[in-house]
Structure 1
Amino acid sequence: MPMKVMNVKKTLELGVFTGYSLLTTALALLLMAKYITAIDVDKEAYEVGLPFIQKAGVEHKINSCQSDAFTVLNDFITKGEEEGSFDFAFVDADKDSYMEYHKQLMKLVKVGEIIAYDNTLWFGTVAEPEENVQEFAWKGIKYLLELNSFLAADDRVESAVVSIGDGLTLCTRLC
């Protein structure tokens, strides 16, 4: 992400895994950036990438939360201090929760800023007829098709699907 161009200072990342996208975001943030709140239930996976984050000298930019994302996001919303305070959110967590994350992120991400959803093309299966979809892809395809349709019709965001990797949907919050 071109964080320097976007003047991003405060971000959320839901679903960190080994921290590749987290490291990329941390490296791209401006020097004056506050921090990245990185949320994942699996601390062990995050620790795999931690030496690379440390070697890059960006660990101080990361507030790592071992938790389910709903707990942290609900706390932010309930306390009211974080509403509309994030410049960017990257979502790569449990696909069946993307719709619920979207509801919460619309309260937390500033108007005019971006929410990015990873894996929205789901191995290309979102464009395949049902009979061509392999069994391993069934779990996520239903949720991603729902999300893609919802975002295309949601007049609160302007969205674009980028066909890199496994698909990335970028949503600019309009209101």
Structure 2
Amino acid sequence: MRIQVDVNEALQDYVASISLREPDVLRDLRVKTSELPLSLMQISPEQGQFISLLVKAIGAKKALEVGVFTGYSLLATALALPEGGSVTALDISEEWTAIARDFAERAGVSDKVDLRIGDARASLDALLLEEGAAGSFDFVFIDADKENYWAYYEAALTLLRPGGLVVVDNVLWHGAVLDETKQDSETTALREFNAKVRDDKRVELSVLPFADGLTFALKR
């Protein structure tokens, strides 16, 4: 028998009350981002804490993030990395990532952050050409334009070491992946991405209906 809890707002608040340990610098960044027009692009503090836990659990030292926005997940990752760890972060916006840079400075982790501005596909191509990059990353988080998810995922698998983990956000897309009347480019790209990862024998796979849907793919 499958039992599923209806996670309403009251229950979500309860979960936060018994589990959330949000550092002040992350809370300040979340509040600042909430004032922006595109604030819905920011992940939840619970999701940020989950990413931090994963980074620590797998002993990650070298991380990659595709899609930064104002940097909540980036900062959560950088704070979780050990001394000497690094996170390479790719985004196309100078405006939003300026906030990320500022908060990385405030948190004292700017030395762990390698922020690269430009088209993420081009940045990944350049990264793949760097000596020693392929097979050297421990953790990858993808949360960027949905049409290019498969390209980002393929690059991530090449960059990851065996046993490395890639986490992909928004794979349920507010439930739109089930609505056949939704045929926009983002939704159709996510449907195709989900089907391809389902059949990808290069990884161990789990998809959780947490936040807006998260795919966890562990490289074999």
TM-score, length of structure 1 as denominator length: 0.89
- For 2:157, the equivalent position in structure 1 comes to 106
The reply to whether residue 42 of structure 1 matches residue 93 of structure 2 is: yes
The reply to whether residue 13 of structure 1 matches residue 65 of structure 2 is: yes
- For 2:192, the equivalent position in structure 1 comes to 146
Pairwise CA distance, 1:51: 2.9
Pairwise CA distance, 1:80: 4.0
- For 1:123, the equivalent position in structure 2 comes to 174
Q: Could you say what the CA RMSD is over the residues aligned between the two structures, in angstroms?
A: 1.5
Pairwise CA distance, 1:40: 0.5
More strand by share: 1
5+ residue gaps in structure 1?
A: none
Q: For 1:77 and 1:65, how far apart are their aligned partners in 2?
A: 14
Structure 2 counterpart of 1:162, one-letter code: L
- For 1:28, the equivalent position in structure 2 comes to 80
Pairwise CA distance, 1:167: 1.2
Identical counterparts, % of pairs: 38
Moved more, 164-173 or 52-61: 52-61
1:73/1:49 Cα in 2 relative to 1: closer, same or farther (>3 Å)? closer
Pairwise CA distance, 1:139: 3.1
Correspondent of 1:63 among 110, 114, 119: 114
Pairwise CA distance, 1:74: 1.1
Question: Are 2:64 and 2:140, in contact at CA under 8 Å, matched by a contact in 1?
Answer: yes
Q: For 1:81 and 1:58, how far apart are their aligned partners in 2?
A: 24
5+ residue gaps in structure 2?
A: 1-50
SS, match of residue 161 in structure 2: strand
How many positions carry a matched residue from both structures? 168
Structure 2 counterpart of 1:169, one-letter code: T
* Structure ranking higher on relative contact order (CA contacts 8 Å, 6+ apart): 1
Q: For 1:165 and 1:17, how far apart are their aligned partners in 2?
A: 17
The reply to whether residue 168 of structure 1 matches residue 214 of structure 2 is: yes
Structure 1 counterpart of 2:65, one-letter code: E
